[in-house]
Structure 1
Amino acid sequence: MKKVNLLVLVALLSISTVFATETEPTSDEKGKTVTQQVATLLSEPGFEVKKDLTAQVTLMVNKANEVVVIDVDTKEEYVAAFIKSRLNYEKLETQTVGTQFTVPVRIVPGV
């Protein structure tokens, strides 16, 4: 009986190893990360930036691949309003549905 159990275990391990090592070829072009996509959406604010503005943005991606802003931690209310208006319900190219992200945001004065 021990030999049969051992034989079944070895067969299962070898089958699972075959499936685990088999991968699909990946393309050379990688998609943008969530942080990069958020940076693109927040580029060129509609107000004059006189000093560095920072915020911690907590967001989530829903089933429709749309951003849902959960919280914006910043001292400036207009920065929070800007971030929410630019990000809420914007579509992202991501497969991380339901994952919560915390993204640091820094808006710097233009040169």
Structure 2
Amino acid sequence: MKKLQLFLLVLALGFGSAVKAAELPIDPNSTFKYEVVKLLEDLPIELEEEEKVVNLTITFNKDNEIVVLSVDCDDPYVKSVIKKRLNYKKVNSQLDKSIREYKLPVRLKA
């Protein structure tokens, strides 16, 4: 089930749900989405629903670390797990400094 969730996450990120908070898209050659997928591998989450979409709002600090601003989800456990996995994890991708917040839809499937 965890591999299925990871596959669906990769699929969701690959199909136009690019990380952005403005009209400026991220470079398609960026490895940022793959870094986020790697950080969210094997989430210890059991879903009651067949599918759940969680919207993340993130930014980056001066050390190029992810800072989770919000997790739009009604389940506090899912919020907690995602925040713990992403908060203050360093990414190697070069991101556009003019964009302050990125919105990332994450699709989880049971």
Cα deviation code 1:3-56 (max 9, x no counterpart)? xxxxxxxxxxxxxxxxxxxxxxxxxxx541x33321221121123334322211
Matches within 5 A, 1:61-76: 61-76=60-75
TM (normalized to structure 1)?
Answer: 0.62
Q: Which has the higher helix share?
A: 1
Mind listing any 5+ residue stretches in structure 2 that lack a counterpart?
1-28
Q: Given the superposition, is the C-alpha separation of residues 90 and 45 from structure 1 closer, same or farther in structure 2, using an over 3 Å criterion?
A: same
- Given that 2:45 and 2:78 are in contact with CA atoms closer than 8 Å, whether structure 1 keeps it comes out as no
Select the structure with the greater relative contact order (CA < 8 A; seq sep ≥ 6).
2
How many percent identity over aligned positions?
Answer: 33
Equivalent residue, structure 2, for 1:46: 44
Which structure has the larger Rg?
Answer: 1
Equivalent residue, structure 2, for 1:103: 104
Letter of the structure 2 residue corresponding to residue 100 of structure 1: E
Mind listing any 5+ residue stretches in structure 1 that lack a counterpart?
1-29
TM (normalized to structure 2)?
Answer: 0.62
Equivalent residue, structure 1, for 2:4: none
Which is worse superposed, 99-108 or 42-51?
42-51
Equivalent residue, structure 2, for 1:3: none
- Given that 1:59 and 1:68 are in contact with CA atoms closer than 8 Å, whether structure 2 keeps it comes out as yes
Indicate the RMSD between aligned Cα atoms, in angstroms.
Answer: 1.8
How much does 1:95 deviate? Answer: 2.0
